[in-house]
Structure 1
């Protein structure tokens, strides 16, 4: 009997110890989940209440706060099915509206997660988890309609018509450029993303139309991109060769790019700066009018989504999805023709006398655009002959005043 009582006592003691341990774990876990100042995120003074007040009382400030106005509601409807969570018996979930608002604020300002924690009353670890998820959702719901290459001859011809009307450059189907997006690389990445400035970055390669919208983006160098492969395979449905206005010789439709890119059949770059004649300076000036569309597109993008101007403290995979989210948001807002997104004077203007007035985005920090050479200096005679035909057009039938300082 004594042995039985002893065994019962031992079992009871063990059960008590286990129960105490489990209770302690539950208490610790509950304490981590319910910090009092975080739990008051819906109370006065939190960001959630602030942006709700701005939305109803000060639309202009609301637009500046999240970098969009009434389009916020439309975007929320699109992404909600992908980012909504359910409440549990342990805690109330963060709504899709709040997740989207915090993510847009992160993209607009480049604030750290810890900084956002104090203005939103949402733990930085939680923000760390959901911001990339929301960025991926934004990209997934917008990419089909707001980031797409032309798929027919007619669509390419419409782009060429706009370059001719807006920038006096015929047969142009896009401006190609690349920018560095800096981030803090992990040790596992080694020197793979190490750039010429001694930091780590990915190269965002982009093709832009005449209205500052991105037609194509890729992460990496041009020669390894799907765009370069499509040009080699002639699979883009580019319109057939056509003579420039007032000329006879048929020439291809071209993409304009800076000197870092190769001179090819469908890619044109300016004449080298050394020893230029006045006529070749005029060609380079006319060339720069069309190529400025890509510079200004990146300028608008970084001016509105300033996360891209910072060294982003995320893994390379998350940096890519953050960047792609900014791209599709840019195109989404440009398609709405929102004057608040593209205010007067933000981008470069070309005056009737040929002068170029720089946009105000150039006065602040800009994306690092110096790239390693995307192709060799060698180019075939056919590519040079195409550039020379454009040169002849710009100094005869298509002549315009030479811009001051160009």
Structure 2
């Protein structure tokens, strides 16, 4: 009896192992980098060159695959970029259709944490701090739009979030969904100079003020 149980258990483990390997192969052979540039941008909101730059920046901060069934770093980033672009795991591209929800959740946290590493963050999101940088920014605004003395354009947007369990009322906005009231400042080339996502959607715009240093 015990022998039959052990054989059945071993057979089930073998099937699960083969299933994991098959899913990994399915993910790998559906190469999103083979997509036409326009379709790639529609899925990930970044061109292929931009993706390669993101990959180079984040690779040192992401866990390397230790098993043959682990998700490759490239696929982790692509899956998360697709989620950022669409706002939903369920509507993600077919290339991650074989990635389970728990696996994707781990990828989402890992890639998001890598993007928030201080060295990465401050390399791309940095308000002009010197007089020379500010004068250069003002010059571009004047040349492109005829606006004198402008350092940045400021606006806010509500970014939808899953209903939180703590202080839910602070995130329920006037449009009747849960969100963060995010403040953004960009330069004349649409480069983001400052982000503040620390306010819940219930906060009025007048309270969402930039903390610039």
TM tier relative to shorter chain: 0.7 to 0.9
2:141 aligned partner = 163
Contact 2:40 2:48 survives alignment (8 Å)? yes
* C-alpha displacement of 1:142: 3.2
* C-alpha displacement of 1:52: 5.1
Query: Counterparts of 1:92-103 in structure 2 under 5 Å?
Result: 92-103=69-80
Secondary structure of the structure 2 residue equivalent to 1:188: coil
Matched, 1:78 2:74: no
Query: Against the structure 1 CA distance between its residues 29 and 157, is the aligned structure 2 distance closer, same or farther, given a 3 Å change threshold?
Result: farther
**Residue of 7, 20, 30 corresponding to 1:50:** 30
**Residue of 170, 177, 186 corresponding to 2:164:** 186
Q: Deviations over 1:325-365 (max 9, x none)?
A: xxxxxxxxxxxxxxxxxxxxxxxxxxxxxxxxxxxxxxxxx
Query: Against the structure 1 CA distance between its residues 201 and 207, is the aligned structure 2 distance closer, same or farther, given a 3 Å change threshold?
Result: same
Inter-partner Cα distance in structure 1 for 2:91 and 2:149: 50
* Count of matched residue pairs: 204
Inter-partner Cα distance in structure 2 for 1:117 and 1:126: 15
Query: Counterparts of 1:56-205 in structure 2 under 5 Å?
Result: 58-66=36-44, 67-88=46-67, 92-113=69-90, 119-140=96-117, 142-205=120-183
Contact 1:174 1:208 survives alignment (8 Å)? yes
Query: Against the structure 1 CA distance between its residues 139 and 113, is the aligned structure 2 distance closer, same or farther, given a 3 Å change threshold?
Result: farther
* C-alpha displacement of 1:146: 0.8
Inter-partner Cα distance in structure 1 for 2:33 and 2:150: 46
Contact 2:181 2:208 survives alignment (8 Å)? no
Inter-partner Cα distance in structure 2 for 1:107 and 1:28: 39
Name stretches of at least 5 consecutive residues in structure 1 with no aligned partner.
1-16, 231-235, 237-406
* C-alpha displacement of 1:150: 0.8
Secondary structure of the structure 2 residue equivalent to 1:106: helix
Query: Against the structure 1 CA distance between its residues 107 and 34, is the aligned structure 2 distance closer, same or farther, given a 3 Å change threshold?
Result: farther
* C-alpha displacement of 1:134: 0.7
Pairwise CA RMSD? 3.4
Secondary structure of the structure 2 residue equivalent to 1:192: helix
Inter-partner Cα distance in structure 1 for 2:115 and 2:15: 30
The worse-fitting range, judged by mean Cα deviation, of 205-214 and 134-143 is: 134-143
Give the TM-score of the pair, scaled to structure 2: 0.77
Give the TM-score of the pair, scaled to structure 1: 0.43
**Which of these two proteins has the greater Rg computed from alpha carbons?**
1
Inter-partner Cα distance in structure 2 for 1:79 and 1:86: 14
Matched, 1:207 2:185: yes
Inter-partner Cα distance in structure 2 for 1:175 and 1:53: 34
Contact 1:176 1:205 survives alignment (8 Å)? yes
Contact 1:85 1:96 survives alignment (8 Å)? yes
2:22 aligned partner = 40
Query: Counterparts of 1:1-400 in structure 2 under 5 Å?
Result: 30=13, 34=17, 36=19, 38-43=20-25, 46-51=26-31, 54=34, 58-66=36-44, 67-88=46-67, 92-113=69-90, 119-140=96-117, 142-219=120-197, 220=199, 223=207, 225-227=209-211
Name stretches of at least 5 consecutive residues in structure 2 with no aligned partner.
200-204
